[in-house]
Chain A
């Protein structure tokens, strides 16, 4: 926590994100040159709709990373909860959409609880625990579906409507993401449990000594992550009207990238929602822009990787500069 005066803190914090903001602006201008359709309202809304799921996931991932842990199993959790919901809805066609969402969240909750149990109570390193559970959840997805997919024609219209519902021309997913961000902002900045999460991530031993139940906090963050991933599972399956066994493979990497770009320190204890929004939006811009900049498909991977690398390095350079500036400014 900064000990400098509040005004200086504000300057440094906004300074930190400045690197990413500048980079986003540069990228947007560059894309606009290649395809003038980019900065149109409809495209931006599409961008945000596609990005909404990633935004929700990054909030969950941020809470896990804040405690110094990691969760590699969210892609598989999405697949499992999505497949479960899809199977339920294809068997019982009259299921109300809200019930479907609840089912998805419940499955995600369970997945997160298992992860949390392993990490918090059984002292399994988070990387290995979630790596193992990633395989297990993915395998379970295939097992419960008998290896088959659930296709669009097997889903009732009411369920598919979740993926296309709009409120005043704004897609429901964007609204859900905004709500999640708002709740998360309040949770992390103003609630005691939220502050405890930061404490556990900064220095677990001190946190325990001050009386914080670190095991419970570690468990809680995985449950948060799992439930949000479960929610995303339902949203995903409804949006694409299909539940496949290999859904969302690799989503965890996108979520981690969004967090790290958004300034969440990978070793825990630092990171803000404001930064996270920037990181998630940035990845969303990348995903939206790559198919429309008129470059050969085969260049897309390379461009994406290069941009992420530059963004990380730039972010890092700006952060170091700002930290050094702080050190120089301190009064001894």
Chain B
């Protein structure tokens, strides 16, 4: 039938067009071919081509993040690409569209086959990447984890945005402050398997054992899976199940923004306060309204930059990732390798930064 023939010809053309656009976007040429799928806006393309005029660097670095689209991840990638291309390296960015460990394993497999010199990864699972990363290390590829670590055997060094102990303490202090010293609070986290959130929550629980916080009660840990809709539903559930709630702590940017919106929409802005780790751009209006008196974060762009500097140092052989080594991280100054809580080594970016009414104005346009 003519119609079916026409349809199948269209489909084959579409297939060819999308395949061509895949080549063009991935192969370093930022051209756009026709077809609906041809808008190859893959961010790696532009930087990949820009940096191939190798100067002092000339190495190939890969960056595998947790998932695609998350504004926090995007800013880390921006920082990483910025520094890596300044140092003259080629960058390959891999973003899985589902935040799973299996997708990251496949992606690491692919970059290993492309014979990269260094891999930076923000892991979806601390242990699942061990076999593939060990395989990469055997081939001489340097491995750095950032934001969300992999276990000590899988990596050379971890770039930690802030000490989990410091984060845990800061968040518990904030909850203590906002509940007036006693009362109930709840935590709205990301996925139940997320490495970094779980590490911070574990630290919070440690801090809570201190007698100072004896009157502060943790009601529940809810998981919003870093999805706006699930975070919203879980937050609404918390409000209904615990009528005496005074404070909510959300150590994830998506959860914090979603929960703040629920509080404002449902009219709890006076009764319940919220804090956690949030992006200034997203949380500016809530800080200004007062429902979130203050919150913490660090600059994800800086995390990306430091990761790039660290990976560069490893790949150039300047450091091995062992305890006590120091290296120059460009405009970020000198950095030292210290021991990490999980037995491996890490490099700390700094302390968590407090955002409140005074400084939110200048930060909300930065990130």
Q: Is the CB of A244 within 8 A of B228?
A: yes
CA distance in complex: A138, B97 (Å): 10
The answer on a CB contact under 8 Å between A118 and B228 is no
B40 closest partner in A (C-beta): A143
Closest beta carbon of chain A to B191's beta carbon, Å: 11
Closest chain B residue to A291, Cβ basis: B237
| Interface 9-residue window, one of A100-108, A146-154, A304-312, A313-321 | A146-154
User: Which residues of A lie under 8 Å from residue B258 when comparing CB positions?
Assistant: 240, 242
Q: Are A139 and B37 in contact (CB under 8 A)?
A: yes
Residues from chain B with a CB closer than 8 A to the CB of A244 are 69, 227-228
A9 within 8 A of B: no
Does B53 touch A at the CB level, under 8 Å?
Answer: no
Q: How far is the CA of A245 from the CA of B254 in the complex (A)?
A: 13
Q: Which of A121, A142, A153, A291 contacts B236 (CB 8 A)?
A: A291
* Chain A, interface residues (CB within 8 Å), range: 35 or more
Q: Does B4 contact A (CB under 8 A)?
A: yes
User: Is the C-beta of A302 less than 8 angstroms from some C-beta in chain B?
Assistant: no
Distance in angstroms from A249 CB to nearest chain B CB is 8
User: Are the C-beta atoms of B261 and A241 separated by less than 8 Å?
Assistant: yes
Instruction: List CB contacts (< 8 Å) of B29-71 with chain A.
Output: 36-37, 39-43, 67-71
Among A24-41, those with CB < 8 Å from B are 35, 37
Report the separation of the CA atoms of residues A98 and B170 in the bound assembly, to the nearest whole angstrom.
Answer: 45
- A241 to chain B: which residues have CB within 8 Å? 228, 261
The stretch of A172-180, A220-228, A292-300 that contacts the partner chain: A292-300
Q: Name the residue on B nearest A132 (C-beta).
A: B11
B71 & A153 in contact (Cβ 8 Å cutoff):
no
**Interface residue A145 (Cβ < 8 Å from any Cβ of B):** yes
B68→A245 contact, CB < 8 A: yes
Which B residues, 180 to 220, have Cβ-Cβ distances below 8 Å to chain A?
192, 220
CB of A182 within 8 Å of the partner chain: no
CB-based contact B222/A35 at 8 Å: no
Indicate if the CB atoms of B69 and A298 lie closer than 8 Å.
no
Q: How far is the CA of A204 from the CA of B201 in the complex (A)?
A: 58
Of all chain B residues, the one with the shortest Cβ separation from A49 is B236
CA distance A245 to B236 in the complex (A): 23
Q: Please tell me the size bucket of the interface on B.
A: 35 or more
The answer to whether B41 and A149 have CB atoms under 8 Å apart is no
CB neighbours of B227 from chain A (8 A): 244, 246-247
Query: B37, B229, B265: which contacts A140 (Cβ < 8 A)?
Result: B37
In the complex where A123-B4, A151-B281, A242-B228 touch, is A145 in contact with B69 (Cβ < 8 A)? yes
Residues of A within 8 A of B220 (CB): 297
Smallest CB gap from A53: residue in B:
B229
A152 and B282: CB pair below 8 A?
A: yes
Question: In the complex the two chains form, what is the Cα distance from A30 to B89 in whole Å?
Answer: 62
Is A122 located at the chain interface by the 8 A CB criterion? yes
Nearest-CB residue, chain A, relative to B257: A152
Of the candidates A123, A136, A242, A287, which one forms a contact with B233 in the assembled complex, judged by CB atoms under 8 Å apart? A287
B70: A residues at CB distance < 8 A: 149
Please provide the chain A residues from 90 to 139 with a CB less than 8 Å away from any CB of chain B in the complex.
Answer: 117-118, 121-123, 136, 138-139
In contact, A236 and B229 (Cβ under 8 angstroms) = yes
Q: Which residue of A lies closest to B220 (CB)?
A: A297
With both beta carbons as reference points, the residue of chain A lying nearest to B258 in the complex is identified as A240
Q: Nearest B residue to A38 by beta-carbon distance?
A: B240
Query: How far, in angstroms, from A153 to B285 measured CA to CA in the complex?
Result: 8
* Cβ of B74 under 8 Å from chain A: yes
The 10 tightest CB contacts between A and B, nearest first, are A291-B237, A240-B228, A245-B69, A242-B228, A146-B41, A122-B7, A292-B241, A292-B240, A292-B237, A37-B240
User: What is the interface of chain B, defined by CB distance below 8 A to chain A?
Assistant: 3-4, 7-8, 36-37, 39-43, 67-71, 74, 95, 97-98, 192, 220-223, 227-229, 232-234, 236-238, 240-241, 243, 257-258, 261, 265, 281-282, 284-285, 364
- Besides A35-B241, A294-B241, 16 more A-B contacts (Cβ < 8 Å) are A46-B236, A50-B233, A122-B8, A140-B36, A146-B43, A147-B68, A147-B95, A148-B69, A151-B257, A245-B68, A246-B67, A246-B98, A247-B227, A291-B234, A297-B192, A298-B192
The 14 sampled A-B contact pairs (Cβ below 8 Å) are A37-B240, A37-B241, A46-B236, A122-B3, A144-B39, A146-B41, A151-B257, A153-B364, A164-B265, A240-B228, A244-B227, A291-B236, A291-B238, A294-B241
